């Protein structure tokens, strides 16, 4: 089902809401006295939320997306340079980096940051005052590297930069008290703007101000949540699709007499999506934007959605709590996480002030289409890897692994993790395997493979044979290898399997 823009009733037809839709956000411009007071309390007055009139966001057309994680080197030498400290929040998700300066990252380092986000789901970068003071244009340009920026239709933004989504709470204790008269909790588990046709994958939160204690964000790993389900249940939901809609959010903004900059969007996404960079499956639904499940009756929809959301929210053993520190920047993968803020602080004492930039990525890939999409992504990674490792044995091994990943691994039934191991080996063992002369005979190649058992050594055997193939065909080792040429080489390799 393609996204659609639908009409809404006039503002006067909507009753005034009793409580805020999301207690973490303001939905309309505050009074001049309020703005003057809070401006004196913030280091970043230019990032207070504004609602500029006469701005309208049309539907985002389909766009081509290439995941930067597919271009990254597994060892991340450009990102994790000497002096960078790495600390994991939990064994499986969440990593804190100290000593990285975002404003100085090269393109290669950005690609490696993307890969780390994909692998660890959340990356926290401490002490980013220079980046946060670099200004909205610099920050917007940085995030545009990771995808097309999303525009939030109802929240306040930085003046002149509507891609910024501003989260600001300062002295709104009366509103919070009223909220808890009707609600048991402030938690709202969601993916950001999942109603878009191509929802955000790489998302940045810039921490401009935060309480010394409290106001944390909790993330859930929806890959691990999917793995915990029984094979029978996974098989049942693998083919289901859910309708994500911004209708309720926009309706609340209109009823609150706030500014709306877009018609509601409905998009249909698979409940189980496949990650383009890892092939992992994750549950893709949330408690904010879900409207229904295609093909199911309402009672059936309610049952499945409640079970899955409760499963994710109560799975504390696959969650991570990110504690805010001023001048931190958090980046996370919206394709494999759910998150919620926690309102457990006194905003009269300290404000909570954050900006969000969200880079839209691919249209969610259903399980049924995952094989074709993953093959294309490996072919893309192959071309990049080949260019990065274009000398001697190193480029050869990386190139061969890429070909095997896209053309042959399905036949061999190999685990993608094994390919990653060999890829890492090919980029780190240049001194040990410095010359192509070593592979004069097939027996030499087999001998080398035997020495490296346990790390996908058969790939090195095929890499050695590939070297002979490329010499016989007299292909230019410094020229580009297209997908078609990789298939040619793959076919040649298949003749000796």
Residue 378 pLDDT greater than 60, yes or no:
no
Weakest-pLDDT range from 41-45, 169-173, 370-374, 479-483 = 479-483
Weakest-pLDDT range from 23-27, 43-47, 101-105 = 23-27
pLDDT tens per residue across span 158-188 = 999 999 999 888 877 777 788 778 888 877 8
Structure tokens at 420: 């990653």
- 475 vs 85, higher pLDDT: 85
**Confidence class of residue 376 from pLDDT cuts 50, 70 and 90?**
low
Q: What is the mean pLDDT of the chain?
A: 77
- Tell me, what's the pLDDT at 231? 96
The highest-confidence range among 67-76, 132-141, 466-475, 478-487, by mean pLDDT, is 132-141
**Residues 381, 383, 386, 388, CA torsion sign:** negative
- Tell me, what's the pLDDT at 211? 84
- Tell me, what's the pLDDT at 371? 66
- 433 vs 272, higher pLDDT: 272
Q: Please give the Cα distance from 49 to 52 (Å, whole number).
A: 10
- Tell me, what's the pLDDT at 135? 97
- Tell me, what's the pLDDT at 313? 92
Weakest-pLDDT range from 21-35, 106-120, 360-374, 407-421 = 407-421
Residue 213 pLDDT greater than 60, yes or no:
yes
List of residues 6+ apart from 264 with CB closer than 8 A? 5, 6, 8, 195, 245, 246, 247, 250, 251
- Tell me, what's the pLDDT at 22? 66
List of residues 6+ apart from 358 with CB closer than 8 A? 143, 149, 150, 152, 165, 192, 193, 200, 202, 203, 204, 334
**Confidence class of residue 19 from pLDDT cuts 50, 70 and 90?**
low
Residue 272 pLDDT greater than 90, yes or no:
yes
**Confidence class of residue 422 from pLDDT cuts 50, 70 and 90?**
very low
Phi, psi of 269 (to 5 degrees): -125, 150
**Confidence class of residue 438 from pLDDT cuts 50, 70 and 90?**
very low
Q: Percentage of residues in the chain with pLDDT exceeding 70?
A: 69
- Tell me, what's the pLDDT at 16? 65
Residue 346 pLDDT greater than 70, yes or no:
yes
pLDDT tens per residue across span 309-318 = 999 999 999 9
pLDDT tens per residue across span 71-111 = 999 999 999 999 999 999 999 999 999 999 999 999 999 99
- Tell me, what's the pLDDT at 42? 85
Q: Percentage of residues in the chain with pLDDT exceeding 90?
A: 47
- Tell me, what's the pLDDT at 20? 59
Weakest-pLDDT range from 61-75, 171-185, 289-303, 403-417 = 403-417
Report DSSP letters for 407-475, one per residue: IIHHHHT--HHHHHHHHHHHHH-TTTS--GGGGSSHHHHHHHHHHTTTS-HHHHHHHHHHHHHHHHHT-
- Tell me, what's the pLDDT at 175? 76
Residue with structure tokens 């499945």?
304
Residue 479 pLDDT greater than 50, yes or no:
no
Q: What is the layout of strands, in order, in the sheet containing 337-341?
A: 319-322, 217-221, 337-341
Residue 409 pLDDT greater than 50, yes or no:
no
Helix (H, G, I), strand (E, B) or coil at 385: helix
Mean of the pLDDT values across residues 336-344?
A: 90
- Tell me, what's the pLDDT at 154? 86
- Tell me, what's the pLDDT at 301? 94
């Amino acid at each position: 089902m393609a996204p659609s823009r639908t009409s809404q009733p006039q503002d006067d037809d909507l009753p005034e809401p009793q409580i805020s839709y999301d207690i973490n956000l303001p939905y309309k411009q505050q009074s001049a006295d309020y703005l003057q007071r809070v401006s004196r309390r913030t280091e970043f007055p230019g990032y207070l939320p504004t609602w500029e009139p006469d701005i309208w966001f049309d539907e985002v057309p389909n766009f081509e997306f290439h995941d930067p994680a597919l271009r990254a080197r597994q060892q991340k030498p450009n990102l994790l340079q000497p002096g960078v400290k790495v600390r994991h929040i939990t064994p499986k998700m969440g990593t804190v980096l100290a000593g990285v300066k975002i404003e100085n990252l090269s393109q290669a380092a950005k690609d490696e940051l993307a890969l780390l986000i994909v692998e660890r789901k959340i990356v926290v970068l401490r002490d980013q005052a220079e980046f946060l003071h670099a200004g909205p244009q610099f920050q917007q340009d940085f995030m545009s590297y990771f995808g097309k920026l999303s525009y939030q239709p109802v929240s306040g933004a930085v003046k002149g930069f509507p891609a910024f989504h501003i989260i600001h709470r300062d002295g709104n204790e009366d509103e919070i008290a009223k909220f808890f008269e009707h609600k048991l909790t402030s938690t709202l588990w969601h993916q950001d703007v999942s109603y878009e046709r191509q929802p955000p994958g790489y998302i940045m939160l810039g921490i401009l101000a935060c309480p010394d204690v409290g106001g944390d964000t909790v993330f859930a790993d929806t890959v691990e949540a999917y793995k915990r389900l029984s094979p029978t249940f996974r098989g049942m939901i693998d083919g289901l699709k859910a309708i994500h809609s911004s209708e309720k959010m926009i309706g609340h903004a209109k009823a609150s007499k706030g500014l709306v900059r877009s018609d509601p969007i409905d998009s249909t996404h698979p409940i189980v999506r496949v990650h383009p960079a890892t092939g992992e499956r994750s549950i893709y639904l949330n408690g904010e934007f879900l409207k229904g499940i295609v093909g199911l009756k309402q009672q059936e929809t309610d049952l499945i959605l409640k079970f899955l959301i409760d499963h994710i929210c109560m799975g504390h053993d696959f969650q991570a709590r990110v504690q805010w520190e001023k001048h931190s920047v958090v980046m996370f993968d919206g394709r494999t996480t759910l998150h919620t803020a926690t309102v457990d602080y006194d905003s009269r004492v300290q404000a909570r002030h954050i900006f969000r930039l969200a880079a839209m990525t691919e249209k969610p890939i259903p399980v049924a289409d995952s094989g074709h999409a993953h093959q294309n992504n490996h072919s893309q990674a192959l071309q990049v890897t080949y260019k990065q490792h274009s000398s001697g044995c190193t480029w050869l091994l990386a190139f061969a692994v890429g070909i095997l990943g896209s053309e042959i691994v399905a036949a061999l039934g190999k685990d993608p993790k094994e390919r990653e191991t060999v890829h890492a080996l090919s980029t780190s063992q240049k001194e040990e395997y410095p010359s192509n002369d070593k592979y004069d005979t097939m027996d030499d190649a087999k001998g080398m493979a035997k020495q490296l058992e346990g790390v996908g050594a058969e790939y090195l055997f095929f890499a050695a044979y590939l070297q002979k193939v490329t010499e016989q065909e007299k292909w230019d080792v410094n020229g580009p290898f297209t997908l078609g040429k990789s298939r040619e080489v793959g076919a040649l390799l298949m003749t000796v399997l």
